[in-house]
Amino acid sequence: MKSIKVTILGKQYPLKVEDHEEESMIRICKFVDERFKTYRQQLVKQPESTVMVLAALSIAEELFEARNATTELENNEEVLMERVNHSLERLLTEIRE
């Protein structure tokens, strides 16, 4: 495990990550920090906790949309593979006859 420090909305947070996860975690923290800053600029009069919750909800919404899109792609791929397999089976049957 490796100790790193990341900064989100001007506050440092210590994290322990596996060596191979360091770059990925730094990118994730930068993404979160940028999203929080964007919301901070748009919601100047709101408390920081509200800004963070709304930004987190926005990030979660993107995650759920990406998961749904992935599931749809997987389902479409499965349907396509079933059609290909059916066509191949039909072709093999025709060749045997």
Tell me what the mean pLDDT of segment 74-95 comes to: 85
Read off the pLDDT of residues 33-80 as tens digits, 9 standing for 90 and up.
999 999 999 999 999 999 999 999 999 999 999 999 888 888 888 888
Minimal CA–CA distance to 61: which of 77, 44, 76, 39? 39
| Rounded CA separation 97/95 (Å) | 6
Show the tokens assigned to 42: 């748009």
Look over the chain and give the mean of its residue pLDDT values, rounded to a whole number: 92
Domain-wise residue ranges, the chain: 2-96
- Amino acid identity of residue 65, one-letter, is E
